[in-house]
Structure 1
Amino acid sequence: MTVSHTLPASTADLLAHTGHIGLVQGISAGHFTDARRPTGCSVVLCPQGAVGGVDVRGAAPGTRETDLLHPSNLVQQVHGIVLAGGSAWGLDAAGGAVRWLEEQGAGLDIGVGRIPLVPAAVLFDVMMGDMRIRPDAAAGYAACQAAGKLRPAEGSVGAGAGAVVGKLFGHGRAMKGGIGTASFTVDGVTVGALVACNALGDVYNPYTGELLAGARQADGKALLDARQALLAGQEPRPVLAGSNTTIGVVATDARITKAQAHRLAVVAHDGLARAINPVHTMSDGDSLFALGTGQSGKQLGMMTLSTLAAEAVAVATARAILLARPMPVAGQPILPCASDLRQPGL
């Protein structure tokens, strides 16, 4: 069995990871970032069609067209996935992706034309600047125009532009979130992930357990470790339901069925659980999509595919945080990013 990547371990290894979702055959990815405030959207496109699945674990999701992905339902393939900021308003970005895909001749053939099928999920970033600015159909279209096979930008861009993590003890003690990507290849089959992390909880290195970013001490100068604080009996601040969420896409070029795509989406959440704590809370809308293009022409056992999916999601989540950068917002304190609080040598 040939493996193209070794597992990262240290923070430096996570930053040096070379895999990305664009290495999956039949997949392209792109972003639109709104310069007027930190928000945006990201797309994962498969114009030739891919079997799809989804698993929604968070209790406060914002999604579009997830029911069609159920293994027992009629539609077998979709043509793209949209991840967006802007909370419920951000779902409008999917309309722009549908229009762009139609112009490329992609979609379900209905005789008189084609209908591109584009499920979507959104995260809550409207506390960052003017909430009246949010991704719309034009933003989704622009993200499609920018999509390609090269490594997509990471950090504070696209759906991760306005993402914030570590809000258990208040937004003022939180840190900057973002979007990241990773992939692993075994025997000519690649599994890649694109994850936008706007979690309520803290984010960790999934291999070493190092706390990367999250709730800060009251003075804002050091990380608190929300897990330890909760175990010690500290009361979290009241959290607005749905004001957090980690969303993402896992894609493979293996030949898989729709039922297997669903299972990949399910096990991919293991990657979130390795990198985020707490995760899947009542205030998060955590949702992961899975795509299978089949373009490698190969099959790989579900045990291996599932392992690759969870690893890709875990690394992508950590990279989303490590590559995030502070985003100035008029009238608001600048939230630090992971590199601002990282100890020298780590």
Structure 2
Amino acid sequence: MAAGKLISAYAYEVAPQQRAPFTGGEIPSSTTLQQALDHTFVRSKIASAPAVTFVFESGSTTRDHPIRDAALKVSFTTSSQESEVELLAERLANSMDNRSKPSLLMVSVHESADIASRRMLIWTFPQQEVFNLTVQDGHPQLEMLDAFNRESSIRKAALLEGANDRTGMLTAKVLDFQSTAAEKSVADLWIAKFLHARLQMSDTEGTQLLARALRTAHTKTRGNQAAQDEINAAISAVRVSTGKRISIAGVAAGYMSEIAEAAFLSSVRPEESTAAFTLDHDRFDRLIQFKRFTLASGVIVSAPFVEIGVDGGVMVTEVDGRRILRAEGEIEEEQVRTRG
């Protein structure tokens, strides 16, 4: 799927913490530009990227938002909107720190499949030094140039689409190729600081991600009983939670200290950790493989990630109509505790 017929486009050079004026402006539409934007759109897969919801002031009835307001003006006003896009350039500069490279901010407006809607794309392409080889009178010359790389691994993009009404452009599809768990401040630059948004996540996606993060943490902290206890406590608490929407960052903050938290968040992108979702309890138990048995003697056996019926796990058999549990193994650690 291409980006859509180009209506208008703007480009500005932006450096970290730069103040106006910014070099750039509206770009004349051309077949070459349309083809380049279509190619970048398809290659980026922005149309199937994760969605974010813009964050509005609590209690706001007007839905004012700097990115959404600019998108509606730029997309649905027939006159040039250079001043509006310059405000986006200033916002991007304020979001960047000295670790960020100067970037090309590009904003393009396209027709949508819905005739009443528009599609607006926001791109940042980082500046990189490139060589330019020319030959004059048979003599090669090599120049060092600054260029903006549209295939860079640290480019960013946002896609807004909708009509010019109260419900239009409340969300965006977002790509941040530099967003990793080890680079939270970089990820925050695009989604939290510039877009002022938070990641959307379905209940199924959130439950699966939480279970995966807990399993990773459980594996990484093997041998650290204190950390394992915190992870087990988090699992137990999450399992009995009711109705309330949770986030992975909230689980970490509520139940884990430094070591367990680091292992827990190691497999989660920063923007994913703050996305809220409602736990699918049945799916969570299946993924965690959490089992809890109360024996006739009053002894409780419970543990996550336990395989039933395999060597080294818990064996459950039936004898004379009674289910019998057997778990056998070497004791690695024994503690006297005042709570279960």
TM-score band by shorter chain is under 0.3
Name whichever structure is richer in helix by fraction: 2
Q: Structure 1 length normalisation: TM-score?
A: 0.23
Higher relative CO (Cα under 8 Å, sequence separation at least 6) belongs to 1
